[in-house]
Structure 1
Amino acid sequence: METRKIPGTDLNLSVIAFGSFASGNGWAPSERKSAIEAIRASYQLGVTTFDTAPIYGLGDTETILGEALSCFPRDKVQILTKFGLRWIYAKGKLFRTVVDWQGRNVDIYRYAGKESVIEECENSLRRLQTDYIDLYQLHWPDETTPFEETFEAVDRLVQQGKVRYVGVSNVSPEQMDQIRELFPFVSLQMPYNMIDRTIEKDVVDYCIDNKKAILAYRPLEAGLLSGKVHPDDVYPKNDMRNVNPHFTPENIKKTNVFLEELKPLASEKKVTLAQLALRWTADRPGITAILAGAQNSAQAIENAKAANIRLSKKDMDYMNSALLKLHL
């Protein structure tokens, strides 16, 4: 597995990292089993970087990741998690309301007060069955708490050895300027894929110029770039795809037309469309690792094998030319 180093650290991330986003909690036994198998299958194929967050599954996803990784040497994996989204306290700013596995509405708040950050870290360490976090990331900025207070707490965690390095997520270049005056963060996590290239406007250049790693999440745009999504697909009530503009019937049709153009290249490389999309993202300027999710071991294996694909300049030019025709 290809690895890439986060500048200024000794963290070498697998270029294909495991992203453990989950939209709800209350995993059924079969789902937990599949999730654990997916994580372990990823490791067996060289994936060493695993990204999660307390909000995924309302704590349950961290617990699953901790269980899955407990049988591997701790120094052979990088555990990445986040802080700053709370559902226990009604503090900060309301982020969104989700429906839990019992059908109850749960309000999620952006909140990164000092004591809250410290408490979140302790909870994550317990759920993940570890005594340190390799990369601890601010999940979303909290407008109600000064960055000074948030990163004072983070600094304490680093001094205590509970956190090795610190990253940020979903922040602007202006906010990164404010944060780096306070604390030497090393990475930024943002959505990035073939049909969501927003960060190319200013974020990519900022990170390259300031030697910050970029961890790309949603590299398959919630599965849309797999070629397996249809305009008449129906999703559960709480599924984020219901409010994702890329998932309107019209945009699904347009994306599928684009993916048809990639099929000859995928066939030539003997890979799937999803693998081709993952490798394209990994090969874009400034990208250190891509966070690919998997619900079962088959998907995990497919994702991990995308690291073995080699795309020439001619291949990339062909894909980019096809993208120019896509207007979403």
Structure 2
Amino acid sequence: MEYRNLGNSDLQVSAITFGAWAAGGWMWGSTDRKEAIEAIRASYDVGVTSIDTAPIYGQGTSEEIVGEAIRDISRDKVQLLTKFGMRWDLDSAKGDFAMHTKDNNGKALDVYRYAGKESVIYECEQSLKRLGTDYIDLYQIHWPDSTTPISETFEAVSRLIEQGKVRYAGVCNYSSTQMAEAEQTVNLVSNQVPFSMVNRSIEVETVPYCIGHDKSILAYSPLQRGLLTGKIHPGYTFQEGDHRASSPHFQPAFIEKTNVLLNKIKPIADSKNASLGQLVLRWTIERPGITVALAGARNAQQAIQNAQSIDIQLTMEEIERINQLVDDF
């Protein structure tokens, strides 16, 4: 495994980080708790020391699963990355309305993007309990909240850092302008944003900003939620409750176009005795500005395959060949 520092900090994380959204079941149809725990442990056994989760993933389920999975691992051997600012449990509406959704039991929920000071402090305490730890390595706001001043939000995070409950602050889905404003209150080490071969919008503004200001980028959905594994074809049947069924990236025309691209890069994967997914993950962490690729897994086999993508060695010519095909997409 390769380990990289986040921004200008001394926090080292694995270049392939376990993404625990699907482990929580929410928006992915369901979860098998035992298999999710086994996936995290198998991932750790092959060098993936960093785990990214969030309270909203299964309304606490993902964090609980992560906590259980690492219970017998020395705390200083793993890096816990979690988030705040997506509230489903408020007494009344606060912040920006995010979505109507359902929990894993089918109960209707309204979710709000809210990052008021007292809410940030409360969420941290809840996450610490679910994770079974006394500190969080990287604490990230999940989405911007237009109703709360950025300074107020990160004053709360600064307090948590002073108290030793949080080591470093990060953001998710922030623009460069929002990052710069947050930086006036706290040192940010990272921005977690969507990035994949078929979704490269961050390269316009976010990547140059992060490179110029020594901030790491944690790329989420680098496999475009499974699309770039080559296992999705037009007519693919998703489980009930799987959000991908209505996503633009999973409509027949886009799937067909993506599979044409994948067929063109497959010979490179074959030459490395690697799967398409493994090649895509390796390419992702070779991109300028990308520090980490977050890769989810529903079972141990998937987790191990994701981790083994680090073993692929790409020549400059092969990287340029893939880049050209991606540019032509």
Please give the TM-score of this superposition, normalised by the length of structure 2. Answer: 0.96
Q: 1:77/1:230 Cα in 2 relative to 1: closer, same or farther (>3 Å)?
A: same
Residues 1:47 and 1:55: Cα distance change in structure 2 (over 3 Å)? same
1:41-120 matches, within 5 Å, as 41-89=42-90, 90-120=93-123
1:205-220 alignment to 2 at 5 Å? 205-220=208-223
What residue in structure 2 maps to residue 127 of structure 1?
130
Identity of matched residues, %: 54
Residue 21 to residue 315, structure 1, CA distance change in 2 (3 Å):
same
Instruction: Give the direction of change, closer, same or farther, for the CA distance of 1:213–1:27 in structure 2 (3 Å limit).
Output: closer
Q: Does residue 259 in structure 1 map to residue 257 in structure 2?
A: no
- Distance apart, 1:281 and its partner CA: 0.3
TM superposition outliers: structure 1 runs of 4+ over 2 Å:
22-30, 234-240
Higher mean displacement: 241-250 or 69-78? 241-250
The 5-angstrom pairing of residues 302-313 of structure 1 reads 302-313=305-316
1:242 positional shift: 2.7
**What is the rounded CA distance, in whole Å, between the counterparts of 1:217 and 1:273 in structure 2?**
17
Match of residue 205 from structure 2: 202
After superposition, what is the alpha-carbon deviation per residue over 1:9-59, rounded to whole angstroms, capped at 9, x for unaligned? 111111100000136459999810000000000000000111000000110
Structure-2 separation of matches of 1:171 and 1:71:
35
Q: Is the 8 A contact 1:192 1:218 kept in 2?
A: yes
In structure 2, what is the equivalent of residue 7 of structure 1?
A: 7
CA-CA distance at 1:7 after TM superposition: 2.7
Question: Does 266-275 or 30-39 show the bigger shift?
Answer: 30-39
Structure 1 partner of 2:235 = 232
Aligned 8 A contact 2:28 2:241 in 1: no
Return the alpha-carbon distance in structure 1 between the equivalents of residues 19 and 234 of structure 2: 26
The yes-or-no answer on 1:180 pairing with 2:183 is yes
- Whether the 8 Å contact between 1:24 and 1:99 is mirrored in structure 2 is no
Query: Counterpart of 1:156?
Result: 159
Contact 1:24/1:58, CA 8 A, preserved across alignment = no
> Given that residues 238 and 244 in structure 2 are in contact (C-alpha distance below 8 angstroms), is that contact kept between their aligned partners in structure 1?
yes
Q: Which residue of 2 aligns with 1:16?
A: 16
Matches within 5 A, 1:275-314: 275-314=278-317
Letter in 1 for 2:101: V
> Is the Cα–Cα contact under 8 Å of residues 28 and 243 in structure 2 kept in the other structure?
no
String of CA shifts for 1:40-89, please: whole Å, max 9, x gaps: 00000000111000000110100000000111110011000000000001
Q: TM-score, normalised by structure 1?
A: 0.96
2:247 alignment counterpart: 244
Q: Could you tell me which amino acid in structure 2 is paired with residue 276 of structure 1?
A: L
1:317 to 313, 316, 320: 320
1:307 deviates by 0.7
Query: Which deviates more, 69-78 or 22-31?
Result: 22-31
Report the CA distance shift for 1:311/1:63 in structure 2 as closer, same or farther (over 3 A): same
Please tell me whether the aligned partners of residues 26 and 60 of structure 1 are also in contact (alpha carbons under 8 angstroms).
no
Letter in 2 for 1:53: A
1:244 CA displacement: 2.0
Write the mapping of 1:18-37 to structure 2, written as runs, cut at 5 A: 18-22=18-22, 24-25=25-26, 31-37=32-38
1: CA distance, partners of 2:109 / 2:150? 26
**Conserved? CA contact 2:115–2:145, under 8 Å:** yes
**Partner of 2:60: helix, strand, or coil?**
helix
**Residue 271 of structure 1, CA deviation:** 0.2
- Give 2:106's aligned amino acid: G
Aligned length: 326
Letter in 1 for 2:265: L
Cα RMSD for the two superposed structures = 1.7
